[in-house]
Structure formats: structure tokens, C-alpha cells
Amino acid sequence: MKALQDIYQCVVDGEMDEVEGLIDEALSAGCTAKEILDDGLLAGMAEVGEQFKVGDMFVPEVLVAAKTMDIGMTKIKPMLQSGDIKEVGTVLFATVKGDLHDIGKKLVCMMLEGAGYKIIDLGVDVSPEAVCEGVKEYKPDLVGLSAMLTTTTLSMKETADALKQAGLYDSVRIMVGGAPVNQKIADEFGGHYSTNASTAVELANELMK
């Protein structure tokens, strides 16, 4: 249906000011909130992820697309039935202690949210103890740790060690990413490394199997 295609394209193009009006048009044309969610908003964000992965879109464009999707989600959420949103899993996110960078983390959160994950974002400069408390409180399936400074990659290992000491390590899978992070660093504490936000979605899906 053209109305759903218009919403899809609106997300891809990041037209934040247009999305609510297009949703109204889709509803008037007889589309359900679930169709708008699945075939418009989420399908558009999935296309954004693919374009980002192959280098046809860049971080600023992805952030605008994600914001467009978020505006649309906010509008249709009251119209959705309890079973309309299928949550794939829950991910607890944190930029590790000593690090204040969060653009990369926000991008990954948005991409995963667009893929159906429930996101709990603890913010930046998060201590190992706070991550442990978050795992106890929210019982996530995955824990995402971000670091943008070489010095703070050590905080990732400290966080993993804290989870082990608290008896929580085996209840989650740890995903890690950030400019100085690589597979070797992840291997030191049993983490799972992704190179960017798009591959983070693929990694999360793999870990949830």
C-alpha cells in the first residue's frame, strides 16, 4: 500500500516533520497500527541499517532516521495491542567507567530498538557495580558495553569480572564495541565483538538463538 511505502521512505529519508502526517494518512486509508509499525517504521529502519552497513549512509543520517522512527513509534504506541510489539530480547547498555562517549552507544541502541529489542540504557561512565545492579534489576538477555578510549577498555574486563563475582555472568551474553575495541580484547573476558551498529544487530540476533 502506498501509505505504508510513504512511511517507509520517510524513515529512510529522515523526514522527521512528515512522519506523523503520513501516519494519519495511513490510518485514514485503513492501515492498522501494526501494519504501520511492521511495514512502515521498522521496515524503513531495517533498510537504513542495510545502507549504513554497506557505506551508503553515515552516522548523522542514521541518527535522524532513528529519530524519525521514534517519533512515529510514539504516535502509534497507544493504538497498538499488547501483542503487536514482539520484543526479541532485552539489552542493558552502558558506556564503561571512565568514558563519557555515547554517540556510538546511542546509535547501537536505536538500531537494536528498531530491530525489536527492549533497551535499558544506563548512560555513560557506568561503574561495574552499577552494571551488576542493572542486571539484577532488569534481568536482560544481553549486556552491551561501549568504550571509546583505549584506557577504558580495561573497564570492560573489570565489568565482566564484577559480573562473575556477583554470580551474574552466566545469565547474560556480553556484547562490546567502540573505536579501540577488537576481538582480542573481547576474547579476554568472553565478550562478543561487533564492528559497528549494523553488525551489532546481527550479533544480537545470533546470540539470542
Distance CA 13, CA 192 (A): 32
Tell whether 64 and 107 lie within a shared domain: no
Clarify whether residues 57 and 141 are in a common domain: no
Rounded-to-5 percentages of helix, strand, coil across the chain: 60, 10, 30
Q: Are 144 and 175 in contact (CB under 8 A)?
A: yes
Domain CATH for 150: 3.40.50.280
How much is the pLDDT for 150? 93
- Of 22, 50, 79, which residue sits at a domain end? 79
How far apart, in whole angstroms, are the C-alpha atoms of residue 25 and residue 202?
A: 33
Q: Indicate whether 66 and 95 sit together in one domain.
A: no
Q: What residues contact residue 198 under an 8 Å CB cut-off, 6+ apart?
A: 49, 50, 52, 53, 111
Of 51, 79, 107, the residue that ends a domain is 79
- Do both 189 and 112 map to the same domain? yes
Residues 20-40 pLDDT 10s: 999 999 999 999 999 999 999
Specify the CATH number for the domain of residue 11: 1.10.1240.10
31 and 115 in a single domain? The answer is: no
Percent pLDDT > 90 in the chain is 84
Domain with 69, as residue range(s), is: 2-79
Inform me whether the pLDDT recorded for 7 exceeds 90.
Answer: yes
pLDDT tens digit sequence for 41-70:
999 998 998 999 899 999 899 999 999 999
Q: In the prediction, which pLDDT does 55 show?
A: 92
142: confidence class by pLDDT, cuts 50, 70, 90? very high
pLDDT in tens, 188-198: 999 999 998 88
Laid out side by side, the sheet with 90-95 consists of 118-121, 90-95, 142-146, 173-177, 192-193
How far, CA to CA in Å, does 188 sit from each of 120, 123, 138? 25, 24, 26
In angstroms, the CA 156 to CA 136 distance is 18
**Distance, CA of 184 to CA of 7 (rounded, Å):** 41
Domain assignment present for 97: yes
- 199: exposed, middle or buried (Cβ count in 10 Å: 0-12, 13-18, 19+): middle
Mean pLDDT of 150-176: 97
| Residue 14 clears pLDDT 80, i.e. is over it | yes
Same domain, 190 and 111: yes
| Domain total in the chain | 2
Cβ atoms of 155 and 188 closer than 8 Å: no
For residue 84, being part of any structural domain is answered with: no
Residue for grid cell 490510518: 27
What pLDDT, in 10s, does the model give residues 64-112?
Answer: 999 999 999 999 989 988 778 778 999 999 999 999 998 889 889 988 9
